[in-house]
Structure 1
Amino acid sequence: MSVAYQDLREFIALADQLGAVRHISGAQVFHEIGGVTEVAAGLAHAPALLFDNIPGYRSGFRVFTNATTNAQRAALALGLDPTLRPLDALKLWKEKRTGLKPIAPAVVGDALFMENSARGDDVNLAVFPAPHWHPEDGGPYIGSGALIVSRDPDENWVNASIYRVQVHSRNRVTIQFDHTGRHGSMIAQKYWSKGQGCPVAIVIGQDPALFIAGFEYLPGGQSEYDFAGAIKGVPIEVTKGPVTGLPVPARAEIVLEGELLPFPENSLPEGPFGEFTGYYAADKRPAAVMEVTGMHYRNNPILFGSPPLKPPRFHFGLPFRAAGIWANLEALGVSDVVGVWQHVSQLMTVVALKQRYAGHAKRAGLIAAANSYMGRVVVVVDEDIDPSNLADVMWAVTTRSEPSESVDIIRNGWSSSLDPRLSAEARAQGATANSKMIIDACKPYHLIAEYPRASALSLAAARVIEEKWGAALR
């Protein structure tokens, strides 16, 4: 099944038809666009936002945010039925993700982003409304959901991942790779080791399938273009950037081309920048500098923004990493998993299963903990609990777990330098491990038959009621 949109504008139109887009006029780039984005992301329906008439910028130069922050639009971006219940949509994505076959991009001659173009001294990034997303950010960020495109000089494969981009002057930006193990950084280092700049293209306003692909952890040598094509069921249309020759999406809103200058001899202080944990993880730090020598954009361009926000607000309304954990559990032979979900921006993982034997829940919890990036809490619940409903999960925790018996602590687990709980000493040493708590919130296996019966509707019975009476209730 192919998705129903070709580019960001068509996706916005589809979301608008669902009543999921709010049109905002007159918001300032300095903290206000970011503030409205954060408040909207915290609402129950978490609407997408299209900002226009931004003071100090030409009318029609717009900013689009909260593209996929709820389950409905995340499903829409994946080509799934947006009316599906969140857990059903995630299960369908898990099944689709497992069977995806890469589809190589198709090279086309015409590029919509070439409607306007400037090079050399005519490049001026100040025409774009790049927001200061958080109150203490170090500057405007034109790239909070942008693809950074580069080509491996030895193996010729193209990387197109999400890295943040801060504007420093009319033609200079910094690209922050987080750490040297990122594919974009590894490719750049191959050029830098020869004393050369690394050709790069920054793609802003790509379609949401490319945005999702840019966040995926793909193996080296596999391009995000191929993965996005698999999501869409059709090839991504690309064209050669006129400055770098790199393949860039032909229907992108904005494309910036140039070179990432050799690092660290060329650097600028980048940040601070609010992270997805809801904290500033670091102060200013040196970052690689890109000299922009080509700037191209569509008429009335849309700057795509997806800043990290305080949890539970997150880039995606469907927790894609939970689908990966779900698939891992099944691949390792853990039977009868009925659902996996992640809360608090993927920092808390919940596994729901039908217990078949003593230790079933513990086995699932250990595997989930081992695969929970940065997460500190894993909860395992019975099949009558909806793992996507945090209130339901906490009901299980408070009525089925016994703190003295149901909690395990795993030390030296998978974490990150973004973890706000790390000490300064650990951070300096690169020691980024954390502990993880596994809560068994299932009925004790040996007491299942005699455990008090729940008084509420079962999930299946509740669905029957919703299908019959849901329209009246809404």
Structure 2
Amino acid sequence: MNVDYSDLRDFIDKVDAIGDLRRVSGARLEYEIGAITEVAAGLSHCPAILFDKIPGQPAGNRVFTNATVGAKRAAMALGIDHTLTPLDALRAWKERRSKLTLIAPQVTDDVPYLENVMDGEDVDLRRLPSPVWHPDDGGPYIGSGALVMTRDPESNWVNSSIYRIQVHDEKRVTIQFDHNGRHGAIISKRYWDKGEPCPVAIVCGQDPALFISGFEYLPEGASELDFAGAIKGAPVPVHPGPRTGLPIPARAEIVLEGLLMPFPQDSLPEGPFGEFTGYYAADKRPAPIMHVTAIYHRHNPILLGSPPLKPPRFHFGLSFRAASMWSNLEAAGVTDIAGAWQHVSQLMTVISLKQRYAGHAKRAALIAAANSYMGRIVVVVDEDVDPSNLADVMWAVTTRAEPSEDVDIIRNAWSSSLDPRISAADRDAGLTSNSKMIIDACIPFQHRDSYPKTSALSLAQSNEIMRRWRAEIG
């Protein structure tokens, strides 16, 4: 199954068709749009929001948020049946992802993003919506889910990743790379080392396949445009940016072109910005300046906003990075994985498996811990526990794990400068590791046959009841 949307507008229509869209008129850019987005993301039905009639903005300018926060919308974005349970949808994505064939983009002269052009002295970022997403953010951010496109000067590889973009005045923004290992930072530095600015295109209204691709951990040299084509099952239509020549998605809503100036010679203080951990990880810090030399946008443009929010709210309603971890476990030879999920915005990983031998659960946990970015907790549960259901997981933790026997600590593991627990001094010194707790919440292998029998329905029985009686109880 491939996706059946052509661009962000088409996706919004399909979200509306399944009853997941809410329209809000008159909300202000200064935190009100962000506040409504956060509250809506915490509701049980977690709707997507389309904001219009924004005070101070030209008529027709809109902002779309919570695009893929709900499980149904995340499944739709990936080309998966949105009526599946979250775990079944993730399993379907894992299987689909393993068979994806990369599809290169295709150049087109049908270019909606060129319907309106601001060039040179006419450039004015104030004519586009840039919300202040959180109460204590350092300013407005046009890029909370924006795709930043750069081309490697040596290999011609085009990288398209998600980085945050703060607006400083009508012609300048900053791009904040999380750390120097990010592909966008690596490419930019190759220009800067030659004393040159880096040509950049920023796409602020891409479709969900491109949004997801921008978040994926693809290897250096791999194309997010190709990966988005694989998700869509068709080439992404692109058109060379008039200023940069970069292959910009032709059906994008808003595009900024310009030059990212050599850093740290040219910089502005950026932030603070509320992070996906639910904290401000740092105060203002220097970030490279992009001089915006041209702006293009469709008629009545839509900004795709995806601000980091306090967990459990996250950009994606399906834990698609857990699908990659699931595949990694199987590739490492760990058999009988029944499922994987990440809670608390990826900070807690749960692996479900059918135990085949003593040490099976610990083996899976150690591999999961090694691949858990910033996460501090890894839990392994038996196959009768739904890893996507946190209440179910905690039931296993509280009835099957003995703290004095089933908890291990891994030290000096993979974290990030965004980790609020890391001290400012360590962060400044580049010491961004943390510890990880492994909880083996499986029935002890030696007691599997004698452990008290559960009174609950199995996952298969529960799913069958939902299938048969969804209309009455769902």
| Residues 283-336 of structure 1 deviation map (CA, whole Å, 9 limit, x = unaligned) | 111111111111110000001100100000000011111111111111111111
Distance, in Å, in 1 between the alignment partners of 2:33 and 2:192 is: 36
Could you tell me which residue of structure 1 aligns to residue 45 of structure 2?
Answer: 45
Task: Tell me which residue corresponds to 1:164.
Answer: 164
Q: Paired residues, what number?
A: 474
- Structure 1 residues 361-372: aligned runs within 5 Å: 361-372=361-372
The equivalent residue for 2:472 is 472
**How far is 1:261 from its partner?**
1.3
State the shift of 1:426 in Å: 1.8
Determine the C-alpha separation between the residues in 2 that align with 1:462 and 1:96: 25
Residue matched to 1:173:
173
2:108 equivalent in structure 1: 108
Structure 1 CA distance, aligned partners of 2:152 and 2:34?
35
Amino acid in the other structure paired with 1:217: Y
Letter in 2 for 1:308: P
2:396 maps to what in 1?
396
* 1:331 partner amino acid: A
Aligned to 2:2: 2
**Which residue identity does 1:223 align to in structure 2?**
S
Amino acid at match of 1:158: V
Q: Residue type of the partner of 1:383?
A: E
1:140 is aligned to: 140
Return the alpha-carbon distance in structure 1 between the equivalents of residues 332 and 159 of structure 2. Answer: 30
Match of 2:260 in 1: 260
The 3-state SS of whatever aligns with 1:352 is strand
Q: How big is the shift at 1:59?
A: 2.4
Where does structure 1 lack aligned partners over 5 or more consecutive residues? none
Structure 1 counterpart of 2:58 = 58
Aligned to 1:153: 153
Q: Deviations over 1:343-389 (max 9, x none)?
A: 00010011111111111111111111111111111111111111100
Partners of 1:452 and 1:2 in 2: CA distance: 44
- Cα offset, 1:337, TM superposition: 0.7
How far apart in 2 are the matches of 1:173 and 1:303?
16
Supply the distance in 1 between the matched residues of 2:370 and 2:243 (Cα, whole angstroms): 44
**Which residue is 2:317 aligned to?**
317
Report the residue type matching 2:250 in the other structure.
Answer: A
Superposed counterparts of 1:383-462, under 5 Å: 383-462=383-462
Partner of 1:349: 349
In 1, Cα distance between the equivalents of 2:358 and 2:471?
42
Q: Distance in 1 between matches of 2:366 and 2:194?
A: 45
Q: 1:130: which partner in 2?
A: 130
Displacement of 1:263 in angstroms is 1.5
Q: How far apart in 2 are the matches of 1:266 and 1:425?
A: 24
Question: Which AA in structure 1 matches 2:80?
Answer: L
Distance 1:387 1:231 in 2: 25
Distance, in Å, in 1 between the alignment partners of 2:332 and 2:323 is 14
- RMSD (Å), alpha carbons: 0.9
Partner Cα distance (1:263, 1:404) in 2: 50
> What is the letter of the counterpart of residue 353 of structure 1?
L
Match of 1:406, as an amino acid? D
Question: In 1, distance between residues paired with 2:180 and 2:463?
Answer: 48
Cα distance in 2 between the residues matched to 1:148 and 1:272: 20
In the TM superposition, what are the counterparts of 1:207-246 in structure 2 within 5 Å? 207-246=207-246
Percent of paired sites with the same residue: 69
Instruction: Provide, for residues 388-437 of structure 1, a one-character-per-residue CA deviation record: whole Å limited to 9, x for no partner.
Output: 00001001111111111111111111111111111223212211111111
Give 3-state SS (helix, strand or coil) of 2:10's partner: helix
Look up the equivalent residue of 1:72 and give its one-letter code: K
1:449 shift after superposition:
0.7
What is aligned with 1:338? 338
Residue 438 of structure 1, CA deviation = 0.7
Task: Describe the SS at the equivalent of 2:427.
Answer: helix
Deviation at 1:134, TM superposition (A): 0.4
Per the alignment, in what secondary structure is the counterpart of residue 255 of structure 1?
strand
Q: Which amino acid aligns with 1:436?
A: K
SS in 2 for 1:450: coil
* Aligned-partner SS, 1:404: helix
* Alpha-carbon offset, residue 192 of structure 1: 1.3
The residue number in structure 2 matching 1:81 is 81
Instruction: Give, in whole Å, the separation in 2 of the partners of 1:249 and 1:65.
Output: 20
Structure 1 residue 2: Cα displacement: 2.5
Q: Counterpart of 1:296?
A: 296
**Matched residue type, 1:199:** P
Q: Which residue of 2 aligns with 1:95?
A: 95
| Alignment partners' CA distance in 1, 2:172 and 2:280 | 24
Looking at structure 1, the residues matched to 441 and 250 of structure 2 have their Cα atoms a distance apart, in angstroms, of: 50
Counterpart of 2:189 in structure 1 is 189
**Cα distance between partner residues in 1 of 2:23 and 2:303:** 14
Distance 2:314 2:33 in 1: 17
Q: Give the C-alpha shift of residue 215 in structure 1.
A: 0.6
Task: Give 3-state SS (helix, strand or coil) of 2:55's partner.
Answer: coil
Query: Moved runs in structure 1, 4+ residues, more than 3 A?
Result: none
Measure, in 2, the Cα distance between the counterparts of 1:427 and 1:186: 20
User: Whole-Å Cα distance in 2 between the matches of residues 289 and 249 of structure 1?
Assistant: 23
State the one-letter code of the partner of 1:229.
G
Q: Distance in 1 between matches of 2:200 and 2:472?
A: 53
In 1, the alpha carbon distance for the partners of 2:370 and 2:264 equals 35
1:456 positional shift: 1.3
Unmatched runs of 5 consecutive residues or more in structure 2: none
- 1:166-202 per-residue CA deviation (whole Å, 9 max, x = no partner) reads 0011111111112221111111111112221111111
Distance 2:294 2:381 in 1: 54
Q: By how many angstroms is 1:204 displaced?
A: 0.9
Q: Tell me, what secondary structure is at the counterpart of 2:340?
A: strand
1:70 aligns with 2:70: yes
Q: How many Å separate the matches in 2 of 1:284 and 1:173?
A: 15
| Structure 1 position 128, deviation (Å) | 1.0
The structural deviation recorded for 1:459 is 1.3
Structure 1 CA distance, aligned partners of 2:461 and 2:153?
A: 58
